């Protein structure tokens, strides 16, 4: 399953933390932003699958953020607001929000609405017939949309972590990645273990790829980290 990346834009820390816990519990990746202007910058620069957007925020309000984001991006946005004023709802949808939910809300309802918006986004993406993304090195091909890896056209079974690690290496092909970079991008950023886990998983990947197919995909840069290259 795809791990959705969700930005929670909310300046009430308690609510933001609560949402974060609930969404992470659902298997999503989350980040919190409490400032309107920074939120706008992050939404257009970083690649989120969905944004939960509070209306009343310091520096820039949620309606303004939504309107400005829509000039550049179709990222799904669900507005959150304390006010249940019907005018707000109309305004939220007018400016291009995908949905709108009033505080206080029940978590199952929010999750249900998020799923609707995410599904709609995916089917639109499919309908567009967008070229399927392909990542590759040598005779190895990854299809992120299908979560599949093939070598010479034959499928390779990987665990979730092995897949995530390989995807991160492929997305940074030819760039040497340090253990810390790998750890913070493939494991949760607050993972408390040591970086040995990276070496362990690199070894697993090498067993399933390099050893099995007699190819050198993953190179060790001694004292630095790892790189995947043709
Ligand atoms: Ca607020």
Give the tens place of pLDDT for each residue, 143-184: 988 889 999 989 999 999 999 999 999 999 999 999 988 988
Report the separation in Å between the CA atom of 80 and the middle of ligand 1, taken as the mean of its atom positions: 9
Report the separation in Å between the CA atom of 81 and the middle of ligand 1, taken as the mean of its atom positions: 7
Report the separation in Å between the CA atom of 155 and the middle of ligand 1, taken as the mean of its atom positions: 48
Report the separation in Å between the CA atom of 21 and the middle of ligand 1, taken as the mean of its atom positions: 18
* Confidence tier at 86 by pLDDT (50, 70, 90): low
Kindly give, in sequence order, each residue whose CB lies less than 8 Å from that of residue 152, ignoring residues fewer than 6 positions away: 139, 213
* Confidence tier at 225 by pLDDT (50, 70, 90): very high
CA dist 26 and 177 (Å) reads: 29
Q: Are residues 149 and 123 in the same domain?
A: no
Report the separation in Å between the CA atom of 85 and the middle of ligand 1, taken as the mean of its atom positions: 15
Report the separation in Å between the CA atom of 11 and the middle of ligand 1, taken as the mean of its atom positions: 5
- Give me the percent of the chain exceeding a pLDDT of 90: 69
The per-residue DSSP string of the chain comes to ----EEEEE-S-HHHHHHHHHHHHHTT-EEEEE--HHHHHHHHHHS--SEEEEESS-SSS-HHHHHHHHHTT----EEEEES---HHHHHHHHHTT-SEEEESS--HHHHHHHHHHHHHHHHHHHHHTTPPPP-EEETTEEEETTTTEEEETTEE----HHHHHHHHHHHHTTTS-EEHHHHHHHHS-TT--S-THHHHHHHHHHHIIIIIHHT---EEEETTTEEEE--
Q: Are residues 74 and 156 in the same domain?
A: no
- CATH number of the domain enclosing 176: 1.10.10.10
Report the separation in Å between the CA atom of 65 and the middle of ligand 1, taken as the mean of its atom positions: 13
- Mean pLDDT, the chain, rounded, equals 89
**From residue 118, how far is each of 16, 112, 138, 172 by CA, in Å?**
20, 10, 34, 27
Which of the listed residues 129, 163, 197 is the one where a domain comes to its end? Answer: 129
Q: Are residues 110 and 182 in the same domain?
A: no
Residues recorded for the chain: 230
pLDDT tens for 107-155 read 999 999 999 999 998 888 777 666 678 999 999 999 988 889 999 989 9
Report the separation in Å between the CA atom of 69 and the middle of ligand 1, taken as the mean of its atom positions: 19
Report the separation in Å between the CA atom of 96 and the middle of ligand 1, taken as the mean of its atom positions: 20
Report the separation in Å between the CA atom of 7 and the middle of ligand 1, taken as the mean of its atom positions: 15
Report the separation in Å between the CA atom of 62 and the middle of ligand 1, taken as the mean of its atom positions: 9
Report the separation in Å between the CA atom of 16 and the middle of ligand 1, taken as the mean of its atom positions: 10
* Confidence tier at 2 by pLDDT (50, 70, 90): confident
Q: Are residues 146 and 216 in the same domain?
A: yes
Going by their DSSP bridges, the two strands 140-143 and 177-178 should be labelled as unpaired
* Confidence tier at 89 by pLDDT (50, 70, 90): low
Helix axes 107-127, 13-25, angle to 10 degrees: 60
- The model carries a pTM of 0.56
- CATH number of the domain enclosing 111: 3.40.50.2300
**Which domain covers residue 223, as residue numbers?**
135-228
Report the separation in Å between the CA atom of 53 and the middle of ligand 1, taken as the mean of its atom positions: 9
Of 55-64, 89-98, 189-198, 221-230, least confident by mean pLDDT is: 189-198
Residue 147 tokens, joined: 């979560």
pLDDT tens for 42-77 read 998 888 999 999 999 999 999 999 999 998 888 999
Residue 150 tokens, joined: 């093939």
Q: Are residues 86 and 197 in the same domain?
A: no
Report the separation in Å between the CA atom of 87 and the middle of ligand 1, taken as the mean of its atom positions: 18
């Amino acid at each position: 399953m795809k791990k959705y990346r969700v930005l929670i834009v909310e300046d009430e820390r308690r609510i933001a933390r609560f949402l974060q816990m609930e969404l992470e519990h659902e298997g999503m990746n989350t980040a919190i932003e409490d400032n309107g202007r920074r939120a706008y910058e992050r939404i257009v620069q970083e690649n989120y699958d969905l944004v939960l957007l509070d209306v009343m925020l310091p520096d820039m309000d949620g309606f303004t953020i939504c309107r400005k984001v829509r000039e550049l991006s179709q990222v799904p946005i669900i507005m959150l607001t304390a006010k249940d004023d019907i005018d707000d709802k109309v305004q939220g949808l007018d400016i291009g929000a995908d949905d709108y939910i009033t505080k206080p809300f029940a978590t199952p309802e929010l999750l249900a609405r998020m799923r609707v918006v995410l599904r709609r986004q995916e089917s639109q993406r499919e309908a567009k017939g967008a070229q399927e993304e392909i990542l590759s090195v040598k005779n190895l091909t990854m299809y992120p949309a299908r979560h599949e890896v093939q070598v010479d056209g034959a499928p390779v079974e990987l665990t979730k972590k092995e897949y995530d690690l390989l995807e991160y290496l492929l997305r940074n092909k030819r760039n040497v990645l340090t253990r810390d970079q790998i750890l913070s991008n493939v494991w949760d950023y607050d993972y408390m273990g040591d970086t040995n886990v990276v070496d362990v998983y690199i070894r697993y990947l090498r067993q399933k790829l390099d050893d099995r197919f007699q190819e050198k995909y993953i190179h060790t840069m001694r004292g630095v980290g790892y790189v995947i290259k043709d």
